[in-house]
Amino acid sequence: MAADPQAAKAQARAVTAPRAEAARQRDWLGLPRWAQGWLLPLAVLLVWEAAARAGLVSPAMLPAPSVIAASALRLLASGELGEHAWASFRRAAAGFLLGGATGLLLGLFTGLGRWAQRLLDPSLQMLRTVPLLAVIPLFILWFGVGEFSKGLLIALGAFFPVYFHTYLGVRSAEAKLYEVTRVLQFTRLQLVRGLILPAALPNILLGARLSAGVSWLMLSVAEMMGASEGIGYMIQDARVYAQTDLVFVGIVLFMLAGKLTDAGVRRLELRWLRWRRPFQDGKEKGL
């Protein structure tokens, strides 16, 4: 955090200048800024649709967007889509919560305690480098392909980002503020709640966002290795029967799920990190 308010103000000015610039660019093509990001996908969809209708691509390989949309609507109406989505969401959420909570606790633990750090962190850092997908066969051997095995796999994936960033965040608490807590005679609990957690929160949320992404990835993998419901199962099943349109429906669903969880964490960031707002305005755009 900028200790010098003058510098902070200069920074705020530097941030508002490009913003005025951005406001002027708003009228480019007569579109507001947020809509400009939609131009490319829309163009691709149009070309795709046109190519499909003109018979330029095989419907078995690349069904037209309208066909995919129709299949999605049909599945939605029959309730099948909802069931798969719900099953997937449950698994992902359970794995994410289990892995995230463990990561948070261990991250706090190793971040706060010297001996815990020396004892645990090297091993965890080493495990982190193992490619997750390489442990799947082991999980299948040990736990089979049931729900337990799937949940554990997702939890494992969700664990590392939260753990790693919590640890970093806890370590980032400033020594200068720590001195203040000593002078004000904070208790151990007040120290954790007043300094360490808030200081680590930006990092923890970043870890949570990364973990959510990994959770969806591990979910799709887990569901494809054998399941009887869920979006991954739907995709796998559709492949077997060469229903390419349904494969696309599944992919789009995963895309939406990822985007929604991302937006959710972003909302939490805006609410919980409100105090950072004046500095963040400019950075937000870069993300």
Partner 1 sequence: MLAIQGLTKIFPAPAGEVVALRDIRLEIGPGRLVTFIGPSGCGKSTLLKIAAGLDASYEGSITLDGRPIEGPSVEKGVIFQEPRLFPWWTVEKNIAANASLRDAAVRRRVGELIELVRLKGFEKAYPSELSGGMAQRVAIARALLRRPKVLLLDEPFGALDAFTRAHMQEVLLDIWQADRTTMLFVTHDLDEAVFLGQQVVIMNPRPGHIRRVVSVDLPYPRQRTGAPFQEIRGVVLREFEKVEEAPVPDPGAGI
Binding residue for partner 1 (CB under 8 A) from 26, 33, 259, 277?
Answer: 277
Min dist. Cβ of residue 174 to partner 1 (A): 8
Residues 153-182 as x/- pattern, contact with partner 1 by CB under 8 A: -----------------------xx-xxxx
Binding residue for partner 1 (CB under 8 A) from 25, 129, 185, 228?
Answer: 185
Percent helix / strand / coil, the chain, rounded to 5: 85, 0, 15
Binding residue for partner 1 (CB under 8 A) from 83, 102, 192, 194?
Answer: 194
| Alpha carbon separation from 129 to 77, 123, 126, 135, 167 (Å, rounded) | 44, 10, 6, 12, 17
Binding residue for partner 1 (CB under 8 A) from 40, 183, 240, 263?
Answer: 183
b/e map of 45-57 (b: 16 or more CB within 10 Å)? eeebeeebeeeee
| 4 contacts partner 1 (rule: CB under 8 A) | yes
Residues 197-216 that bind partner 1 (CB under 8 A): 198, 201
b/e map of 124-163 (b: 16 or more CB within 10 Å)? beeeeeeebeeebeebeeeeeeeeebbbbbbbbbbbbbbb
Q: Which is nearer to partner 1, 82 or 278 (CB)?
A: 278
Cα–Cα distance measured from residue 174 to residue 192, given in angstroms and rounded to the nearest whole number: 13
| 284 contacts partner 1 (rule: CB under 8 A) | no
Min dist. Cβ of residue 273 to partner 1 (A): 8
Q: Which is nearer to partner 1, 15 or 140 (CB)?
A: 15
Orientation of helix 39-53 relative to helix 65-78, angle to 10°: 100
Residues that bind partner 1 (CB under 8 A): 1, 3-6, 8-9, 176-177, 179-187, 190, 194-195, 198, 201, 274-279
